[in-house]
Structure 1
Amino acid sequence: MTESEAVSEERLFTGYSGRLLLAVSIGWAFIQAGRLLVSPLLPAIRKDLVITSTEAGFAITVIWGIYALLQYPSGRLSDQLSRTTLLVGGLALISAGFLAFSGAPTYLTFLAGAVVVGLGAGLYPTPARGLVSDLFVERRGQAFGLHTASGDVGGILAAGAATVVLAVATWRDAFLPVVLVLLAVLLSLHLWSREGYDVSRVDLAVGETLKRFLAAPQLRWLLLAYSLYAFTWQSAVGFLPTYLLSKGLPSVIANAGFAALFVVGAIVKPLAGGLGDRVPRGLLAPAVLAVAAAALSVVVFSSTSLVVLAGVAVFAAGLMAYPPVMQAHLMDSFPSDSMGGDLGAMRSLYIGIGSLGSTYVGAAGQFLSYDIAFTGLIGCLLLSSLVIVTRGRE
């Protein structure tokens, strides 16, 4: 088969590969929308449940921490069982978690919902990315760009839904439409996927995977770089609306800034994925992180609405260009027969570390200031870029 014939079979929008890419991407978009709704709704949630900034940050950390813990086992299970088994199971669980959010009467029940959301979300993305890699080889960068951009579409939906819902209803009502779409995606995957369901005991081989994974010096440095990035990303998306409000910006502008983060990301990610197919990813990744750090400096040290929004937009461009570039690079580096498990191990570690970002910003904002908290994130981005340049490209 020629290269042109292989590319023609890897259809991004039509055929079997296109349908499944669409389904898993819509699922990822609404999983992200549901989780990211918590950020713009946070002031209303805090007021209703009577909780502090630190407690709010911890709730977000629970969602992302549980999510992180599931990345390795979900990847390993999807390698040994089937992608469809994990994808459908994850969609069912996270739908139940969002329903728990909508009915939570206390902070403890909200935390319980956060655990279920984390479990459901944790089962989904690694097998979804494994499925994308199964379907695409020559156009893998483009496919990853489109798939990861769907998460940014979820962020846009979250910002818009939060603004509308708070104007006409309560924060609890925002999660119900998300559940309906996720159940529709679940049904689509059940009907379209050629894979069957496979439920059996699987040896997770945690020690073997970590030994193989951590034995490679380049992967250890890339883990550090990605962890610093994940810490920054989680901190920013968890508290950006609250931070902009603390700077004296109106709530409409704060939500617009949150939406801009994902609008720009949805545009940039496919472009960055395609660019990463043509230029060295080890040079592109640190460059976009440096751009993000410079733009975040503008956001921190300015209080003018237009300047802050412009800074958020450029920050988004740098921050969101990173994942498709580095994830494609990582998938190229892992053996094909353990791709899902290796990616899951990497994701468990860097997302787990990153999940602490929300608690960090919440506590720093409560006891120091949000300006100080976000200044620390600038340092994380610069250090991550430096690690890739000096160690991660070997």
Structure 2
Amino acid sequence: MRWRYQETVLTLSSLAFFVTMVGRLAISPVIPDIAADLDISTTAIGAALTGMWITYALVQFPSGVLADRYGERIVILVAVAGTGLTAVVIAAAPAFGLFVVGTLLLGAAAGLHYSVATALITRTYDDIGTAIGLLNAGGPMAGLITPVVVAWVAVTYDWRLAIGLTAVIAVPVAALFWYGVRPTEPQRPNQSLRDRLDPDEIGALLSRRTIVFTGVVAVLFDFTWQALSSFLPTFFVQHHGYSQTLAGTLFAVYFAGHGVLQIGVGALADRYGRDAAAVACAVTGIAGLAVLVVGSRLWVLVGALLLLGFGMGWAAAVFPRFMDNLAASEQNFGFGLIRTSYMVVAATGSVVVGALADRLDWTAAFGALIALLAVAGGMLVVNRSLDLGY
């Protein structure tokens, strides 16, 4: 089959997502090293990571506004280059204060990418569930590679060099995107940024009942995803007593399964409906978390990670649900606004789970995540069973 330009756009957008995800995930495998070097607690690092996810969330809305004004290509390029630069700031941080500043800036730079890329892909493809699943594959690809490489470099050299590797991969990916993706036409080049911040327009969009319902579901799923991306390696070290290297390898297994299986989630959403696929994600996510807590044999835990990988592919079902309820002219602005709204709440997943683990244990922390997924799945089942129309 002849390679089409739209496949180039999808591939390079996924690679750009890979870079922004590497930057955010590189911190998780070396949390014990950072805590020891900077003399801080797990809760403090969890708070810093929550700050990173909050800035990531806050930038989603302005990224869509900027893309409408200047085009998607330039916004995505800034996201990739900025992720590399801010990773250097974190790696060079001599004290916790500058480390926090670096994580906040990293979240802001990385946050410019996803909403803009999703809107671009939505306008390019018809089967958007499958296309978004493929776009999202850049994240799990980062999860497959990052924990193993970062853990090995941290053990062999130090955590600072491990985190600084993000800058090394950001440069060639930015160059490929600049060369391979044509300049994109802005959707609203003549509308001022102030006009786009009309409170009435924002309020009308966020008050749509379908958007509100889907937003609550997204909060519950994303809270869980954020917590796992921050602390899954630490869970394996502290709850199961595994080495840092083995914990990083298992983290990679989780993301490998996530990367492959979420494409299946998108295909299921296109064929059987968004809600059916999302409920399947909630059920498998609950099963995976439960087995991770009570399981003991390594092969059982690997099976649980595959279940969890499918469950955390929820975005390929939930994001098309948002796009189904947005007009083409709203997709940059609207999806960015929606992402900011739900992700600010979901970003607390890191600090909440870190605090639960510190004050109680990992069983309590993961039990809370199971409860949230049960609520998300229950909402979707009730909506479908009673034909509520949300």
Partner SS for 2:137: helix
Q: Which residue of 1 aligns with 2:228?
A: 236
> Contact 2:72 / 2:184 at 8 angstroms: preserved in 1?
no
Alignment of 1:24-63 (within 5 A): 24-63=13-52
Question: SS in structure 1 opposite 2:111?
Answer: helix
2:53 corresponds to which residue? 64
User: CA-to-partner distance for each residue in 1:263-318, whole Å, 9 max, x for gaps?
Assistant: 10111111221222111211221122112112211112233333223222212222
Q: 1:105 to 1:206 in 2, by over 3 A?
A: farther
Partner residue in 2 for 1:363: 355
Partner Cα separation in structure 2 for residue 292 and residue 99 of structure 1: 34
Q: Are 1:79 and 1:338, in contact at CA under 8 Å, matched by a contact in 2?
A: no
Match of 1:157 in 2: 145
Q: Percent identity?
A: 26
Match of 2:381 in 1: 389
Structure 2: distance between partners of 1:70 and 1:282: 28
- Give yes or no for contact 2:140–2:255 (8 Å, CA) kept in 1: yes
* Aligned counterpart, 1:4: none
Q: 1:146 pairs with 131, 134, 140, which one?
A: 134
The residue number in structure 2 matching 1:167 is 155
Distance 2:198 2:231 in 1: 34
Unaligned runs of 5+ in 2: none
Matched residue, 2:269: 276
User: Does 2:190 align with 1:202?
Assistant: no
Pair 1:300-2:323 in alignment: no
Paired with 2:307 and 2:321, the residues of 1 have a C-alpha distance of 24
Aligned-residue CA RMSD (Å): 2.0
Please, which of 227, 248, 270 is the counterpart of residue 240 of structure 2? 248
- The corresponding residue for 1:333 is 325
Greater Cα shift, 163-172 or 52-61: 163-172
Q: 1 CA distance for matches of 2:89 and 2:277?
A: 41
Task: Select 1:178's aligned residue among 138, 156, 166.
Answer: 166
Number of aligned residue pairs: give it. Answer: 381
Q: For the residues of structure 2 that align with 1:241 and 1:290, how far apart are their CA atoms?
A: 23
Whether the 8 Å contact between 2:206 and 2:338 is mirrored in structure 1 is no
The question of 1:286 aligning with 2:275 is answered: no
Residue 248 (structure 1) shift: 3.0
Cα offsets for 1:29-72 (capped at 9, x unmatched): 12111211111111111111111011010111111110000111
Deviation at 1:163, TM superposition (A): 2.6
List runs of 5+ in structure 1 lacking aligned partners. Answer: 1-7
Q: What is the rounded CA distance, in whole Å, between the counterparts of 1:132 and 1:363 in structure 2?
A: 38
Is 2:72 aligned against 1:83?
A: yes
Equivalent residue number for residue 373 of structure 1? 365
Report the 3-state secondary structure (helix = DSSP H, G, I; strand = E; otherwise coil) of the residue aligned with 2:217.
helix
Determine the C-alpha separation between the residues in 1 that align with 2:249 and 2:74: 37
TM-score by length of 1: 0.91
Deviation at 1:206, TM superposition (A): 5.0
Paired residue type of 2:32? P
Separation (CA, whole Å) in 2 of partners of 1:247 and 1:212:
46
